Amino acid sequence: MKSEKMSVNDPAGKYPQPPFPKQDQSPPGKESALIPKADHGEKSYKGSDKLKGKKAIITGGDSGIGRAVAIAFAREGADVLISYLDDSEDEDARVTADFVRDAGRKAVLIKGDIKEQAHCQKIIDSAIAEFGGIDILVNNAAFQMARKNIQEITAEEWDRTFQTNITAMFYLCRAAEPHLKPGSSIINTTSVNAYSPSEQLLPYAATKGAIQNFSANLSQILLMNGKGIRVNSVAPGPIWTPLIPSTISNHTQFGKDTPMGRAGQPAEVAPAYVFLASEDASYVAGATIPVTGGRITI
């Protein structure tokens, strides 16, 4: 891999570059089966009390970007509710919860399908019951499948993608808003696909464009209504997570099309969420932070 020939100070050589081994996983994938292993900041992230005493919800918090954000939030002093889908993710969720607890913070696990409005309400109610409040809502869970053409996309898959990626976001924001005090933060995960959509990810890319608009619009509404709640987005580029080999057939070259020539790691995305959740970003609202390995988002 090229990274072996580069200085670790060069961002292009900091992590493995493609080609990655061909691997078969069923969606949404498992961290334990990922080759090479992803870096979530387990050994590197050091907190400085940026989120001391805060209470956070992270959907899709069991693995990938969600795990990295959970680790970073906990080490910055936040309690974390980790929302995840089903039994196949139990192991990943438990590992993430252990990292949160090792940081001295409270971890709560909530399993279920966020496509269901009642479950979204349960997530919010559980955070209130367990933490006594909510300061940060991270809408990170997503579904995608790579398809060669529109005929391969079923109506059911289209609906599932929109219900998971954008409708659930509406449910959660609507349920959380009455409990969010001035200074609270909502952070939504969009994607570089909102700017440069992949020809293989039509439903997914469409939802990421919708998230971009939803986040900016909701930010205006909440601030102009005097709620004092900041809404922002993070737009990751190609990030190496279990979702990739489980949904993209040509994942051996994943990330090669970036100027850095490699996929990003979850640990490289998490600091953007910490910034947006913290007082450092008190004047940042309706914005999107791209973490794309140099891929253009203008």
Return the active site residues. Answer: 204
What one-character-per-residue DSSP string does 208-231 give? HHHHHHHHHHHHHHHHHTT---EE
Tell me how far apart the alpha carbons of residues 187 and 168 are, in angstroms, rounded to a whole number.
14
Tell me how far apart the alpha carbons of residues 35 and 31 are, in angstroms, rounded to a whole number.
9
- Which DSSP state fits 293? T
Q: Are 130 and 81 in contact (CB under 8 A)?
A: yes
Tell me how far apart the alpha carbons of residues 37 and 174 are, in angstroms, rounded to a whole number.
36
Q: Are 97 and 126 in contact (CB under 8 A)?
A: no
Phi, psi torsion values for 173, nearest 5 degrees: -65, -40
Q: Are 96 and 67 in contact (CB under 8 A)?
A: yes
Instruction: Name 214's Cβ contacts closer than 8 Å, sequence gap at least 6.
Output: 166, 169, 170, 188
Tell me how far apart the alpha carbons of residues 237 and 293 are, in angstroms, rounded to a whole number.
7
